Structure 1
Amino acid sequence: MQKEMNPCYDVTIIGGGPTGLFAAFYAGMRDMKTKVIEAAPYLGGKLPYYREKFLYDIGGIEAITAEDLTKELEAQARTFDPTIVLSQLIETMERLDDGTFRLTSQTGEVHLTHTVLVAAGGGTLVAEKLDLPNARQYEGRHLHYKAESLEQFRNKRVLISGGGDSAVDWAIALASIAESVTIVHRRDEFRAHEGNVAQMRNTSVHIMTSSLLCGIHGDQERIYEVTIEHFDSGEISVLEIDEILVCHGVKPDLGEIKHWGLKIERGRVIVDAWMQTSIPGIFAAGDVAEYPGKLPGLIAGGFMEGPAAINRAKAYLEPYEDIKPIWSTGHPKLMAIHGES
């Protein structure tokens, strides 16, 4: 375990997704000594789960892939040289006698900080696994819970199981390069955005609703076919398939954060209008935070909540100062970086 001689940061951001990365940039604008701690071995939060998916609801950007957005967010976050720590899951939090927080990760490493911003999304993300007896033997080879690239499905017969945005987006993306694409959803209607569902219906994707993937058949090397149960008729059909992409979502888990003493309801940390939690000095923003009027799941929302939390953290650190919002326009360090006079 590291000694308590660790440097103490003004703010430590738990979570390296879009909200955490933009908050790190904003904290740099406020001249705050900043650390970002991410449990995964990479930054981006959920974005790396669908790298080639296009996002259309980022303000001022007509369309951008999740992978490119991650790159831009990381580059922006590094503007003021924050300390970034990967592959560390923060487990325990303790307030010391001098009011600072001691955070300890699963590795035993200690991080000292004056304030904490929890931007962990829904927590650690674990893919919802396919509940079939022989599913595990094909995982990572012909049964996928996230796709590394479109090319791995080129000229393949692909089955997609799921009915949300991710499933529909992959169906659209694969329709033009796969030999065939079939999407199976257990409900009558898709949960994805209506416009995307309409777009999918205008492709060659074979759509099966009120249906369930109930069997996988193959040998030790590959999948040959699957069986599909159709709820309306009770019939079982057989499809020849090469690859299966399971898009049943991910299970968020706040892990040990649930035991910090924060007020938590339905898996979300309750905050006020300033993103303050029930523990002074600890703030929350992004999908992990909950308050009246919250618009969940929108990256742009986290882009507002992160700076709001940082502004309040700055006020917490300097209670006798008149802390006002700060903007990039005219910011001397940013002007110097970009060669403005």
Structure 2
Amino acid sequence: MSEIFDVTIIGGGPAGLYSTFYSGLRNMKTKLIESQAQLGGKVLLYPEKMIWDVGGQPPIMGAQFVIQLIEQAKTFQPTILTNTKVDFIDKNDNNLFIISTNDGQKHYSKSIIMANGGGIYNPQKLDIEGAEKFEMTNLHYTVPSFKLFQHKRVLISGGGNGAIDWAVEMLDIADEIIVVYRKDQLTAHEAQVALLQSNPKVTILLNTTIEKLIANKEKTKVSEVVLKKHDTVEELYQPIDHIIVSHGYNRDASLQFSDETSLKLKDDYYYEGTATGKTSKEGIFAAGDILSYEGKVNLLVGTFQDAVNAVNSAKVYIDPLANKFEMVSSHNEKFQEKNRQIIQEMLVEK
């Protein structure tokens, strides 16, 4: 049989990463399994957006926040697998969970923490022939760096919160912003829409879709797009420097459970549970967006509390004599040596 872990965490977003850190703090042998190539979850979709609502953390860009979460998660040397998708969860006669992954491997664990958020998100691509060849230049499904768009003409396709948020972010960066949306009105937050409508550098085209991409002479970038206005059947030729497509995400939620491990769902997707991270099955816990319970806080701060509660519940599940809570970090012996090192480094810098 393969190596047995105390807890296996499924999902490498903020909930999974903090669960990984905290389970190490609780002396649990920990494995984290993430389906994507990178850790970070949905925060990776918005690397240059500012995060303001984490206690004690000054405003920070998403990309840097992910770096810090990953560094913290690795504090106690967990086993971390990326590019590994969980396909099936079962349980054997020894009360161990068997986690089957897409590479044909089986992973054995005394407990599980589900931190798989909204599932595996992949952006809905622009359905135009040849569009994929421009993804390495000026066709984007997220914003890798604001510098790319400085003093540029940017076309944003989409009318939901994601698209309109990007458009608002671009107000102080781009020289011109064109928003195109297939419906007759934008569906984003009213305050964000009002900001765009009152700004002279913004053009909003409703009932409009991208019909064709026209490349530059070198065939390396899109230099112009053909837009179709569906209410008038008119075609518009719009020169651009960059295109941002925000049409939502396809969610792969194909993870399956055996009858013995199947979880009770709410709204056909989220795991119904408690504020202490428990689900309908003993030994399977949950944290973050995937967990539904009364009083849920759908913010990063809530995610971290979910993670702590799920880990504590998992610890007591595998060791009923364990303390229900871990000692606070300022008094915890696991950090004494690390604290000394940090203080010494600070003294040297002074």
Q: Which moved more, 1:10-19 or 1:209-218?
A: 209-218
Matched, 1:122 2:118: yes
Matched, 1:158 2:154: yes
Q: Which residue of 1 aligns with 2:302?
A: 301
Q: Which residue of 1 aligns with 2:238?
A: 239
Mark the CA change 1:69 to 1:321 in structure 2 (over 3 Å): closer, same or farther: closer
Partner-residue secondary structure (3-state), 1:111: strand
TM-superposed CA distance for 1:286, in Å, is 0.7
Contact kept, 8 Å, 1:30 with 1:326, in 2: the verdict is: no
> Partners of 2:115 and 2:15 in 1: how far apart?
6
Q: What does 1:1-341 correspond to in 2, within 5 Å?
A: 4=1, 6-132=2-128, 135-136=131-132, 138-185=134-181, 186=183, 188-192=185-189, 194=191, 205-208=201-204, 210-219=206-215, 221-228=220-227, 237-257=236-256, 261-264=262-265, 265-296=267-298, 298-339=299-340
User: For 1:4-52, what per-residue CA distance to the aligned partner results, in whole angstroms no more than 9, with x for missing partners?
Assistant: 2x22111111111111111111112211111111111111111222211
TM-superposed CA distance for 1:304, in Å, is 0.8
Give the alignment's TM-score, normalised by structure 1: 0.87
User: For 1:106-134, what per-residue CA distance to the aligned partner results, in whole angstroms no more than 9, with x for missing partners?
Assistant: 11122211000010111111112234455
Q: Which moved more, 1:272-281 or 1:15-24?
A: 272-281
> Partners of 2:272 and 2:98 in 1: how far apart?
22
Partner-residue secondary structure (3-state), 1:213: strand
Contact kept, 8 Å, 1:171 with 1:205, in 2: the verdict is: no
Q: Which residue of 1 aligns with 2:346?
A: none
State the identity as a percent.
Answer: 34
Count of aligned pairs between the two proteins: 335
Letter in 2 for 1:168: I
TM-superposed CA distance for 1:279, in Å, is 1.9
User: For 1:40-96, what per-residue CA distance to the aligned partner results, in whole angstroms no more than 9, with x for missing partners?
Assistant: 111111122221111112222231100111111111111111111111111121211
Q: Which residue of 1 aligns with 2:348?
A: none
> Partners of 1:118 and 1:54 in 2: how far apart?
27
Partner-residue secondary structure (3-state), 1:81: coil
> Partners of 1:29 and 1:317 in 2: how far apart?
15
Give the alignment's TM-score, normalised by structure 2: 0.85
> Partners of 1:59 and 1:209 in 2: how far apart?
39
Q: Which residue of 1 aligns with 2:347?
A: none
Contact kept, 8 Å, 1:217 with 1:225, in 2: the verdict is: yes
Partner-residue secondary structure (3-state), 2:74: helix
> Partners of 1:56 and 1:231 in 2: how far apart?
40
Q: Which moved more, 1:147-156 or 1:30-39?
A: 147-156
Contact kept, 8 Å, 2:33 with 2:81, in 1: the verdict is: yes
Letter in 1 for 2:339: H
> Partners of 2:208 and 2:296 in 1: how far apart?
34
